[in-house]
Each structure stands twice: as C-alpha cells, then as structure tokens.
Amino acid sequence: MKQSVIISWSSGKDSALTLWRLMNDPNYEVIGLYTTYVGNDVPFQATPIEIVKQQALLIGLPLVLIELPKVFPANDVYQQAIVDGLKNCELQFDSVAFGDLFCNGIVDYRRQYIEPAGWACVFPLLGQPSHQLANEIIECGIKTKLVTIDSTQLDIHFCGRWFDHQLLTELPPTTDLCGENGEFHSLVVDGPFYQQPLNLTWLECETDSRFCYQRYTLVETDSSQYHNDSIS
C-alpha cells in the first residue's frame, strides 16, 4: 500500500532531489507540493511565487501556498501556519516529506508539529554525505543555478553559476557542497520531472549588505497544455 506524500518545496535542488527520489520509490505516491512564502517571494531563495507556480505546473502537481507573517516567525507561529495550511487544503495525504540533509535536531523539530496533526515525516536525504548528494543532483539531470549567495560565507562571484561538476571543484574546502550551512541557495530550472525546462531570461546580479541575488524573469509561454492546481 503506497503512502501518499506531499513535499515541502523550496524551489531549489534539495527539494527537487527529494521529489525525484520519492517519485521513483514504490512505497510512495507524490500527490502535491507545498511552499511557504513571505510577501511575493520564497525566503532565502528569493524565488517569486509566480516562478514556483510555474515549476509546479511543469511538474504537474498541485501546489499549496502557505503565507508566513515574516521570514523568521516564532516557532509556534511557523508550525501552526504549516499545519493549518496543510489541513485546510484540498489534498489528502499520509505523510509530509522534507529535503533536510543534516542530523542536527531537525527530525525532532519537524515531528513536533507534523505528527500530532496526524501525518508521518519523511526525510529521503537525511544524514547522507553532501558530496554524494551533490553528484546525484547533477547526474540525475536536475539543472539548477545558484541564485542567492551569503557573502559572509562565499565569494559573490559564485552567484549565477550553474550547479555542475566544475562548480563543485571550485567551491572552497570550507563550503558544504550542498550549501547546507546557508552558503548558497538554488533555483531548479530543469529536471527529469519537468515537462519542459523553466523558460527564464537571466538578468544582472544584485547585492545588498550581505547577500547577492541572481535576478531573472519568466518568459511567457503557452501553458494551456499543462495542468495543476495552485491552492492558497
């Protein structure tokens, strides 16, 4: 009996690998994605919600949008927003999947609010070496670009680079190859789960006092051939 699962979707590579693994796992049926956002963007990735909607459209899965009051709300506010958003959506599922990599207390934290709501937690990537995951992301055909760089941890010239084998050889030895210390965040432009690549025009990189962002715009395409449902 397959477990139906909804995936926490950040728009980046870790959630994409989580999706790909679960789509190929006979024990699970992926029935949707959910994304948290503040204003019009996904925090950290700074991905516009219109882009996330387009990703879900290309994947062909319903998208649940959950708005947060700010980037770092109190834990109880964050947890309640997730539970309420998932309970009030139209999807029925048994479990919630996350793309967390490090065993740093995140499992207990996720279970603290997911399991009392009646769902199981799934962590397909947890505890696996970053270099193995980074290479798997590249080799399975997930094409992603570094769109946010924390300049306190990584030189901003990496902003806008494709996440490929060449990049992995150039990252400093102190940098986690999956950016799990917050060094960088990514945007998935193509993958084996997309019906076609995300069609973007790449613009300039912008910097503030700490972060550097690769900017881009969505190129309008005929999406009538695709179908999914965005659920706020």
Q: Would you say 30 and 22 are in contact if contact means Cβ atoms under 8 Å apart?
A: yes
**Residue partners of 74: CB distance under 8 A and separation at least 6:** none
Query: Does 231 reside within a domain?
Result: no
For residues 57 and 63, give the distance between their C-alpha atoms in angstroms, rounded to a whole number: 9
For residues 56 and 224, give the distance between their C-alpha atoms in angstroms, rounded to a whole number: 14
Query: Does 232 reside within a domain?
Result: no
Give 207's pLDDT tier (boundaries 50, 70, 90).
Answer: very high
Structure tokens at 180: 């799990």
Q: Would you say 51 and 197 are in contact if contact means Cβ atoms under 8 Å apart?
A: no
Query: Does 126 reside within a domain?
Result: yes
Query: Does 185 reside within a domain?
Result: yes
Comparing 72 with 52, the larger pLDDT belongs to 52
Range of the domain at 139: 3-220
The tens digit of pLDDT for each residue in 125-147 reads 999 999 999 999 999 999 999 99
The tens digit of pLDDT for each residue in 87-128 reads 999 999 999 999 999 878 999 999 999 999 999 999 999 999
Query: Does 20 reside within a domain?
Result: yes
The tens digit of pLDDT for each residue in 56-99 reads 999 999 999 999 999 999 999 999 999 999 999 999 999 999 99
CATH code at position 53: 3.40.50.620
For residues 200 and 215, give the distance between their C-alpha atoms in angstroms, rounded to a whole number: 10
Query: Does 225 reside within a domain?
Result: no
Q: Which strands make up the sheet holding 143-150, listed edge to edge?
A: 184-190, 143-150, 211-218, 200-207
For residues 118 and 153, give the distance between their C-alpha atoms in angstroms, rounded to a whole number: 39
> What are all long-range contacts of 176-180, with beta carbons under 8 Å and residues at least 24 apart?
176/130, 177/130, 177/131, 177/133, 177/134, 178/13, 178/14, 178/101, 178/130, 178/133, 178/134, 178/137, 179/146, 180/101, 180/102, 180/130
Structure tokens at 20: 């790909």
Question: Per the structure, how many domains does the chain have?
Answer: 1
Q: What is the mean pLDDT of the chain?
A: 95
Query: Does 64 reside within a domain?
Result: yes
Query: Does 110 reside within a domain?
Result: yes
Q: What is the pLDDT of residue 104?
A: 82
pTM, full prediction: 0.94
Q: Would you say 65 and 231 are in contact if contact means Cβ atoms under 8 Å apart?
A: yes
Distance from first CA to last CA of the chain, Å, rounded? Answer: 29
